[in-house]
Amino acid sequence: MPALLLALALGVDPPALAEWLRKGDSRAERITGVAKSADVRLFFAQLDDDEPEEAVLRYDGDQKVEALVFDRTAAGWVVAGKFSDWWNYKPEYRDGFIELRAVTRAGRAELIVRTHSGGTEEDAIDIEIFQLRAGKLVAVLKGNEYTSKMEHPSGKVVTAVTRFEYPAAGVVVMRGAINCRAMRWAGEVFVESPCP
Ligand SMILES: [Ca+2]
């Protein structure tokens, strides 16, 4: 993250920044690079071990959607990370861009970020699952969701979709038409596990 962004965002109250983005206040552009946003969402969630909830601010800009993740410290709010989805951008990408979900343990959410990337045949979405540890966002799982064409044994070309599923606490399943990969949380990291 640029030092300037970090410095500007230190002490900035996420609800205030959300208002500035909605109204087109020049302070919003200095912090985010976006002058005004028509779709601003502010989420609070418990992302780490300290008591105050963290904040995630999602806003759209010119052909992109972005999110700032704020950690609350004794010195005030600090930006822990910034994410952006812009490749071949469509407004509906906003909905799945940021997800806050307790993947590995109850009462504490992980941050799931879904971004689009280039491809000719496939519609691919890169997925990263982050945990907030001591103010730093640590990626604990990476993968892809995608739609691809494949030939069925009958000779017919079928569309195969692979999606992330969260069937139980600590379990992530990436299931496609003919493939399945499962990961189980082992306390510090995800490990390969039999597909349920
Ligand atoms: Ca917290």
| Cα 180 to middle of ligand 1, angstroms | 34
Q: For the residues 159-172, what does the mean pLDDT come to?
A: 89
Put the strands of the sheet holding 190-193 in their side by side order: 98-105, 108-117, 123-133, 136-151, 157-168, 171-175, 180-185, 190-193
| Cα 146 to middle of ligand 1, angstroms | 33
Q: What percent of the chain has pLDDT over 70?
A: 92
| Cα 56 to middle of ligand 1, angstroms | 12
Tens digit of each residue's pLDDT (9 = 90 or more) over 71-106: 998 888 999 999 999 998 999 999 999 999 999 988
| Cα 74 to middle of ligand 1, angstroms | 12
Residue 188: predicted pLDDT:
92
Residue 7: predicted pLDDT:
47
| Cα 44 to middle of ligand 1, angstroms | 10
In order of 45, 128, 134, 189, the CA distances from 49 in angstroms are: 12, 21, 8, 17
Residue 120: predicted pLDDT:
59
Let me know: does 110 contact 99? Beta carbons within 8 Å. Answer: no
Residue 103: partners with Cβ closer than 8 Å, 6 or more residues away: 110, 112, 129, 166, 170, 172, 185
Tens digit of each residue's pLDDT (9 = 90 or more) over 103-157: 998 899 999 999 998 765 567 899 999 999 999 999 999 998 887 777 777 788 7
Question: Is the pTM higher than 0.95?
Answer: no
